[in-house]
């Protein structure tokens, strides 16, 4: 490189050329873009697996795949969606937006940032490669309960464990970076209570990640020992305890579900205030609500384990603590509604997705509340009712948050407006198909269809056919999303710096030109 | 576009109504089964109470939201207000939410205490989850049996029409009497399973190394169908639960018959079995218990489930084969069958696999008799 005559002025390097730009980049915007594309590719990978699942379940009987492969599909679908789509997409948004929302030139630890990203393709390469090995990939569910995932697992479980370790390292490094950036790189004048809510949501999420990813690493390491080194952490025959696995897993697992929703809370708050043209209602209570959700999320884990045979006092404790979480969650919903109240509302695509978020996430919250009621959970647990619950909070919840964020900030990233008509079409198709897919799951669940079944009794046939049709519709619709994003990158109406009417007042990102320059806020702005 | 929008907006409003109407129908195709026990009925009522509370909150919140979206849309010239906080409002809805939760928590706790009771039953049954079938043992009468899916593979593969109870039928259901407190002691033999009968509202995980308890008291005779609800491997969907509830006299007859059968079986162990008798019994046992993994033609699904055809152990090492069947193979899906099945069954299936397919011609053709298994057990006990 040193032989190249540098003609441009120093201090304002543009991106490197070709592949090396992406391999070696330390620029937060490039890394954000990498994360977002990675997540997009994984969305279609995990989505293809969901299509296999739904094709098999379209009718009773085994038509398309055998149970062995079906179990690999459900497992990998879950793992990929959780660790490969939702989490990386939020980290991508964080990379792009945190520095420019707090007026920093970049993330605090740019090289670490590059490493955190590139660990991910490695982790998922390993995970997905197991599907092509003779014994097949992981087939024990995304919750990988022992001893199905230890004594009874295919030997490829070792690859799975390694890949979870690598994902964990990536998440922990990413979180350290985010926390360091937020605490050290805010523009002068930006006190904590002036930070945008997306920044707050990520600060809290990053702490959750640092707290629980080591727990996940611990539990998979114990599995590794059980499988290869003769320990008996989870092996009853050797004096171990299979239920211990579940306690440790869910101690990670429940905070994990909030890791997947808090950043969406942040995004949606910005979008609702932008398109209601009215500042967010109850900023402080929004922050406190997120913090209390995060803290409470450490003491509710056993609500996933109501049927393992806990003592009565334990069942009641976890029921009450879980119900408590509904309070801060409810407060957030009330605040969003109060923000819309007496605003001046327009319905651009990001707003449509956010309104749908509020409505449908709330439905997921209701089913969550019902699941928290222990005696009722005896009937709901491990049926499609649970599947309906978590898909409502994760698809029209977390995923809608990500889609809304993409439409909201895409003009800032690319400098071009997306096609509003196509965006609205994408919204309506998605909204309709998501409900056709996931709403009937409540009914089949209540009627008694257990989850993770490749085949089912005849009385569930009608609903399953409807669900499958909805799922194919949903899957196809997301190709339209891909098309819209590519179309916007390639051209479109030039976006103004503030992009959305009045947004200039709302955050530092809207004071930058569109697209945001490769290096921004080299001189920190002053926040009043 | 705007017409479509109007229609869709209407749909959004109408959908919750349709949905609640459907649920209100209380048909078990849409809703939780009411069930037949006191507990299942209380749980159903509780479920409906919390459901309607959620609907009520939903109606309030969503009406305010959609009304605001409608009333304050910019296209109608709405001008934004500039408030962004209201302390008492925040306190108010936090308190309101808390009160609603307390309202839900009270009946929930009551039902929970009702459902949760691990006192002894009049009849105590040990339920063991196996990959992929249930084993029931009547502890007082010391009789037990396996309960296997009875739906044929042809139905599953769509080669013949599916029957009414497709995937919800077994060769031998659990039988319990009416109006009797029955306690279930539930455990797992290999991985975790979960024993669920919706009509009794009993769902309890079957965990190796643990014994969980649950109980029921069923007033009405009938056949009640349930399922395994914890992912337990390939045939998770193929190990249903069926419980036949009968009047007390019929139950006593059933148990008496079982006891006689068990007695006869014990006598049979000492009889001299011919190769043909063993083969016949072995083939039947093989197809019910082994073919899921090793396949009916003995080819297995390598590398996970090894082939028995041409296997060195099956062809020339009967001592090793007995050991594998009795003790299982550590670190694999091969379970120990020794404790769960009779000496006759073990001997028969070993003999069958040593004779079947091409093994009889290519191997040593040793016949294993029930006495060999008894000898093996005595040797181990020493
Ligand atoms: C009001 C808030 C919520 C409550 C009270 C709640 C309650 C519950 C309960 C009790 C279960 C266990 C059900 C069972 O297995 O029987 C559950 C499962 C689940 N929840 Fe939630 N939940 C809430 C919000 C969320 C959110 C925000 C997410 C994620 C974004 C989420 C994701 C999940 C997932 C993934 C599962 C299923 C895990 C599995 O077994 O695979 N929940 N929830
Ligand atoms: Cu949870």
C-alpha to C-alpha distance for A472 and A150, rounded to whole angstroms: 34
* pLDDT, position B157: 92
Contact B181, B155 (CB under 8 A): no
Q: Cα(A254) to centroid of ligand 2, in Å? A: 4
Whole-Å CA distances, A106 to A18, A181, A194, A223, A273: 22, 8, 19, 39, 26
Q: Are strands B222-228 and B241-246 parallel, antiparallel or unpaired?
A: antiparallel
Q: Which residues between 243 and 272 in chain B have a beta carbon less than 8 angstroms from any beta carbon of chain A? A: none
Q: Nearest Cα to B185, choosing from B161, B173, B200, B202?
A: B202
Whether cis (ω within 30° of 0) applies to the bond prior to A515 is: yes
Q: Which of A386, A388, A391, A442 to mutate to test the pocket of ligand 1 (most atoms within 8 A of CB)?
A: A386
In the sheet that holds B193-197, the strands lie side by side as B174-177, B241-246, B222-228, B193-197, B202-206
Q: How deeply is A473 buried, as exposed, middle or buried, from its count of CB atoms within 10 A (0-12, 13-18, 19+)? A: middle
DSSP tag of A106: S
Give the dihedral of Cα atoms A494, A497, A503, A507; nearest 10 deg: 140
Cα(A368) to centroid(ligand 1), Å: 6
The chain B residue lying nearest A422, using CA atoms, is B1
For residue A276, what are the contacts with CB-CB under 8 A and spacing of at least 6?
A: A339, A340, A343, A344, A345, B72, B80
Q: Measure A257 CA to ligand 2 centroid, in angstroms.
A: 7
- A407 given a catalytic annotation: no
Measured between beta carbons, the chain B residues lying within 8 angstroms of A62 are 156-158
Cα separation, A362 vs B58, in Å, equals: 8
Query: Tokens standing for A432?
Result: 């309709």
pLDDT at B7: 46
CB pair distance less than 8 Å for B207 and A446: no
Task: Tell me the residues of chain B between 187 and 226 that have a Cβ less than 8 Å away from chain A.
Answer: 190-192, 194, 196, 198, 201-205, 207-210, 212-213, 226
How confident is the prediction for chain B on average, in pLDDT? 87
Give this complex's ipTM.
0.90
- Minimum distance, in Å, between the CA of residue B276 and any CA atom of chain A: 35
Instruction: Map residue A501 onto helix, strand or coil.
Output: coil
pLDDT score of A5 = 41
Q: Which two tokens stand for residue B273?
A: 């079995």
Closest residue, chain A, to B35 (C-alpha): A379
Does B230 contact A140 at a Cβ distance shorter than 8 Å? no
Q: What is the pLDDT of residue B1?
A: 44
Are A303 and A274 in contact, with CB atoms under 8 Å apart?
A: no
What pLDDT score was predicted for residue A124? 97
Of all atoms in ligand 1, which is nearest to the CA of residue A397? 30
Instruction: Tell me the percentage of chain B whose pLDDT exceeds 70.
Output: 92
Query: Which residue is listed with tokens 């006192």?
Result: B119
**Predicted confidence (pLDDT) per residue in B312-347, tens digit:** 888 888 888 888 888 888 767 787 887 778 888 888
User: How many angstroms separate the CA atoms of A368 and A373, rounded?
Assistant: 9
- Tokens 């409810």 locate to A330
Confidence band for B77, pLDDT divided at 50, 70 and 90: confident
pLDDT digits (tens, 9 = 90+) for B35-57: 999 999 999 999 999 999 999 99
Alpha carbons A217 and A223: distance in angstroms, whole number: 10
Q: How far, in whole angstroms, is CA A372 from its chain's centroid? A: 22
Of residues B62, B157, B198, nearest to A61 (C-beta): B157
Ligand 1 atom at minimum distance from A380 CA: 16
Tokens coding B57: 């909150």
Ligand 1 first shell, C-beta below 6 A: A 143, 257, 260-261, 303-304, 322, 325-326, 329, 365, 368-369, 371-372, 377, 380-381, 386, 389-390, 393-394, 397-398
State which of A143, A322, A389 you would mutate to test the pocket of ligand 1, scoring each by most atoms of that ligand within 8 A of its C-beta. Answer: A389
Give dist(CA A272, CA A404) in Å, integer: 11
Strand order in the sheet with B212-216: B143-147, B133-138, B123-130, B182-188, B212-216
Measured between its terminal Cα atoms, the distance across chain B in Å is 85
Q: Do A453 and B236 touch (CB under 8 A)?
A: yes
Q: Do B73 and A342 lie within an 8 Å CB cutoff?
A: no
DSSP track, A181-244: HHHH-PPTT--GGGS-HHHHHHHHHHHHHHHHHHHHHHHHHHHHHHHHS---SS-GGGT--HHH
Instruction: Please give the Cα distance from A524 to A141 (Å, whole number).
Output: 48
Ligand nearest to the CA of A74: 1
Pairing, β B212-216 against β B133-138: unpaired
Nearest CA to ligand 1 atom 16: A381
Atom of ligand 1 nearest to the CA of A326: 1
Atom 7 in ligand 1: residue holding the nearest Cα: A368
Tokens of A516: 């945001």
DSSP state of A279: P
CB contact under 8 A, A236 and B209: yes
Q: Are B175 and B244 in contact (CB under 8 A)?
A: yes
Segment B169-227, tens digit of pLDDT = 999 999 999 999 999 999 999 999 999 999 999 999 999 999 999 999 999 999 999 99
**Which of A423-437, B60-74, B260-274, B307-321 is predicted least confidently?**
B260-274
pLDDT value for B20: 53
B109 touches chain A (CB under 8 A): yes
Provide the pLDDT for residue B9. 54
Closest partner CB to B231 (pick from A241, A323, A452) = A452
Residue B210's Cβ-count burial label (10 Å; 0-12, 13-18, 19+) is: middle
Residues of chain B positioned with their CB less than 8 A from the CB of A375:
39, 42-43, 46, 108, 111-112, 114-115, 201
Supply the pLDDT for residue B331.
65
Closest CA to A366 of A333, A404, A336, A343: A333
Answer yes or no: is pLDDT of B28 > 70: no
- Read off the tokens for B271: 């009889």
Q: Choose the mutation target among A360, A378, A452, A463 for the interface with B, i.e. most B CBs under 10 Å.
A: A378
Can you tell me whether residue A308 is helix, strand or coil? coil
Residue A134: count of CB within 10 angstroms of its CB? 10
What lies within 8 Å, CB to CB, of B202 at 6+ separation is A378, B184, B195, B196, B214, B215, B216
The token pair at B144 is: 């037990």
Residue of chain B whose Cα is closest to the Cα of A228:
B331
Pairing state between β B222-228 and B212-216? unpaired
pTM for the whole structure = 0.89
**CA A333 to mean position of chain CA atoms:** 19
Q: What is the pLDDT of residue B375?
A: 82
Residues 43-72, chain B, touching A (beta carbon < 8 A): 43, 46-47, 50-51, 54, 57-58, 61-62, 64-65, 68-69, 72
Please choose from A256, A377, A390 the residue to mutate so as to test ligand 1's pocket, defined by most ligand atoms within 8 A of CB. A390
pLDDT computed for residue B19 by the predictor? 54
Neighbouring C-beta atoms of residue B222, cutoff 10 Å: 13
Whether residue A375 contacts residue B202, with contact meaning beta carbons closer than 8 Å, is answered with no
The full 3-state SS of chain B, as one line of letters, equals: CHHHHHHHHHHHHHHHHHHHHHHHCCCCCCCCCCCCCHHHHHHHHHHHHHHHHHHHHHHHHHHHHHHHHHHCEHHHCCCCCCCCCCHHHHHHHHHHHHHHHHHHHHHHHHHHHHHCCCCCCCEEEEEEEECCEEEEEECCCCEEEEECECCCHHHHCCCCCCCCCCCCCECCCEEEECCCCEEEEEEECCCCEEEEEHHHCEEEEECCCCCEEEEECCCCCEEEEEEECCCCCCCHHHCCEEEEEECHHHHHHHHHHHHHHHHHHHHHHCCCCCHHHHHHHHHHHHHHHCHHHHCCCCCCECCCECCCCCCHHHHHCHHHHHHHHHHCCCCCCCCCCCCCCCHHHHHHHHHHHHHCCCHHHHCCCCCCCHHHHHHHHHHHHC
| Residue from A74, A141, A327, A371 to probe ligand 1 pocket by mutation (most atoms less than 8 Å from CB) | A371
User: In chain A, which residues have their Cβ closer than 8 Å to the Cβ of B54?
Assistant: 366, 369-370
Q: Give the helix ranges, DSSP H, for A103-156.
A: 110-129
Burial class (CB within 10 angstroms; exposed 0-12, middle 13-18, buried 19+) of A230: exposed
Question: Dihedral sign, CA of B29, B34, B40, B42?
Answer: positive
In angstroms, rounded to a whole number, what is the distance separating the alpha carbons of residues B177 and A139? 39
Active-site annotation holder among A186, A304, A389, A391: A304
- Sequential DSSP letters for A405-421: HHHHHHHHHHSB---HH
Cross-chain Cβ contact A369/B65 below 8 Å: no
Entry field: residues in chain A: 528
Query: How many CA atoms lie less than 13 Å away from B71 in the CB half-sphere?
Result: 11
- pLDDT tens, chain A, 528 aa long: 334 444 444 445 678 788 888 999 999 999 999 999 999 999 999 999 999 999 999 999 999 999 999 999 999 999 999 999 999 999 999 999 999 999 999 999 999 999 999 999 999 999 999 999 988 999 999 999 999 999 899 999 999 999 999 999 999 999 999 999 999 999 999 999 999 999 999 999 999 999 999 999 999 999 999 999 989 999 988 889 999 999 999 999 999 999 999 999 999 999 999 999 999 999 999 999 999 999 999 999 999 999 999 999 999 999 999 999 999 999 999 999 999 999 999 999 999 999 999 999 999 999 999 999 999 999 999 999 999 999 999 999 999 999 999 999 999 999 999 999 999 999 999 999 999 999 999 999 999 999 999 999 999 999 999 999 999 999 999 999 999 999 999 988 999 999 998 888 889 999 999 999 999 999 999 887
Residue closest via CA to ligand 1's atom 37 equals A390
Asked whether the predicted pLDDT for residue B25 surpasses 70, the reply is: no
Q: Which residues in chain A have Cβ-Cβ distances shorter than 8 Å to B111? A: 375
- Residue A307 has φ and ψ, to the nearest 5°, of -100, 10
Q: Name the residue at shortest CA distance from atom 43 of ligand 1.
A: A368
CA distances from B291 to A247, B284, B295 (A): 35, 10, 4
Give residues with Cβ within 8 angstroms of B208, minimum separation 6: A147, A236, A237, A242, B187, B188, B189, B190, B191, B192
With residue A177 as reference, give the H or E element that holds it: helix A157-184
**Nearest CA-CA partner of A174 in A235, A93, A255:** A93
The ligand 1 atom at the shortest distance from the C-alpha of residue A323 is 5
């Amino acid at each position: 490189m040193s032989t190249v005559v540098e003609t441009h002025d120093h201090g304002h390097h543009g991106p490197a050329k070709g592949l090396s730009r992406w391999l070696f980049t330390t620029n937060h915007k490039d890394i954000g873009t990498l994360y977002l594309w990675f997540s997009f590719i994984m969305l279609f990978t995990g989505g293809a697996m969901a299509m296999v699942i739904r094709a098999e379940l379209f009718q009773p009987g085994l038509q398309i795949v055998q149970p062995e492969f079906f179990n690999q599909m459900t497992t990998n679908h879950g793992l990929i969606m959780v660790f490969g789509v939702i989490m990386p997409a939020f980290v991508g948004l964080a990379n792009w937006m945190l520095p420019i929302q707090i007026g920093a030139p970049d993330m605090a630890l740019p090289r670490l940032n590059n490493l955190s990203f590139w660990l991910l393709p490695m982790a998922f390469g390993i995970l997905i490669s197991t599907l092509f090995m003779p014994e097949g990939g992981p087939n024990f569910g995304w919750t990988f309960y022992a001893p199905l995932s230890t004594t009874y697992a295919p030997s490829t479980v070792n690859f799975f464990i390694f890949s979870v370790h690598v994902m964990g390292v990536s998440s922990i490094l990413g979180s350290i970076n985010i926390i360091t950036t937020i605490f050290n790189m805010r523009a002068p004048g930006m006190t904590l209570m002036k930070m945008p809510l997306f920044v707050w949501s990520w600060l809290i999420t990053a702490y959750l990640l640092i707290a629980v990813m080591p727990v996940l690493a611990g539990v998979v390491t114990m599995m590794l020992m059980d499988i290869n080194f003769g320990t008996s952490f989870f092996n009853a025959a050797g004096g171990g305890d299979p239920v211990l696995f579940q306690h440790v897993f869910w101690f990670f697992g429940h905070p994990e579900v909030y890791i997947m929703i808090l950043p969406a809370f942040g995004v949606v708050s910005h979008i609702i205030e932008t398109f209601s043209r009215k500042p967010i209602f109850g900023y402080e209570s929004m922050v406190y609500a997120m913090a209390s959700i995060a803290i409470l999320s450490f003491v509710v884990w056993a609500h996933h384990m109501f049927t393992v045979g806990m003592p009565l006092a334990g069942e009641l404790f976890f029921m009450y603590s879980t119900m408590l979480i509904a309070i801060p969650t409810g407060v957030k919903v009330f605040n969003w509604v109060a923000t819309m109240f007496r605003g001046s509302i327009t319905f651009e695509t990001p707003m449509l997705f956010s309104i749908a978020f509020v409505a449908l996430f709330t439905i997921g919250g209701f089913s969550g509340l019902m699941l928290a009621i222990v005696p009722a959970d005896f009937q709901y647990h491990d049926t499609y009712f649970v599947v309906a619950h978590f898909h409502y909070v994760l698809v029209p919840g977390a995923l809608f948050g990500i889609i809304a964020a993409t439409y909201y900030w895409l003009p800032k990233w690319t400098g071009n407006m997306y096609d509003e008509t196509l965006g609205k079409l994408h919204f309506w198709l998605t909204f309709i198909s998501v409900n056709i897919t996931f709403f009937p799951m409540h009914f089949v669940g209540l009627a008694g269809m257990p989850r993770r079944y490749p085949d089912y009794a005849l009385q569930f046939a009608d609903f399953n056919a409807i669900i499958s049709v909805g799922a194919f519709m949903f899957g196809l619709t997301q190709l339209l999303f891909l098309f819209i994003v590519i179309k916007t990158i390639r051209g479109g109406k030039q976006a103004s710096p503030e992009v959305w009417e009045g947004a200039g007042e709302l955050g530092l990102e809207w004071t930058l030109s569109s697209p945001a320059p490769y290096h921004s806020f080299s001189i920190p702005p002053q926040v009043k | 576009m705007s017409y479509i929008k109007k229609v869709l907006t209407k749909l959004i409003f109408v959908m919750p109504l349709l949905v609640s109407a459907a649920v209100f129908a209380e048909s078990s195709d849409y809703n939780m089964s009411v069930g037949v026990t006191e507990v299942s009925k209380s749980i159903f009522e509780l479920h409906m109470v919390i459901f309607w509370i959620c609907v009520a909150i939903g109606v309030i919140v969503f009406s305010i939201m959609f009304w605001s979206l409608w009333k304050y849309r910019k296209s109608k010239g709405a001008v934004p207000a500039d408030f962004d906080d209201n302390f008492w409002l925040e306190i108010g809805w936090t308190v309101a939410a808390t009160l609603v939760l307390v309202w839900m928590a009270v009946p929930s706790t009551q039902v929970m205490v009702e459902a949760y009771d691990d006192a002894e039953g009049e009849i105590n049954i040990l339920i063991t989850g196996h990959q992929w079938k249930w084993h029931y043992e009547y502890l007082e009468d010391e009789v037990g049996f396996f309960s296997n899916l009875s739906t044929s593979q042809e139905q599953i593969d769509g080669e013949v029409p599916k029957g009414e109870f497709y995937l919800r039928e077994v060769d031998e259901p659990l039988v319990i009497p009416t109006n009797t407190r029955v306690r279930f002691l539930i455990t797992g033999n290999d991985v975790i399973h979960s024993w669920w009968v919706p009509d009794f509202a009993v769902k309890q995980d079957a965990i190796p190394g643990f014994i969980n308890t649950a109980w029921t008291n069923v007033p009405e005779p009938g056949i009640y169908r349930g399922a395994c609800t914890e992912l337990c491997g390939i045939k998770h969907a193929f190990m249903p639960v069926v419980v036949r509830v009968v009047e007390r006299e019929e139950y006593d007859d059933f148990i008496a018959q079982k006891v006689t059968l068990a007695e006869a079986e014990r006598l049979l162990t000492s009889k001299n079995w011919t190769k043909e008798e063993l083969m016949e019994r072995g083939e039947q046992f093989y197809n019910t218990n082994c073919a899921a993994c090793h396949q009916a033609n003995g080819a297995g699904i390598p590398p996970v489930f090894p082939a028995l055809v041409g296997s060195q152990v099956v062809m020339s090492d009967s001592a090793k084969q007995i050991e594998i069947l009795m003790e299982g193979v550590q670190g694999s899906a091969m379970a120990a069958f020794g404790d769960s099945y009779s000496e006759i069954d073990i001997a028969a299936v070993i003999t069958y696999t040593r004779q079947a397919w091409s093994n009889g011609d290519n191997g040593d053709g040793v016949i294993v008799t029930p006495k060999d298994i008894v000898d093996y057990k005595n040797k181990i006990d020493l």
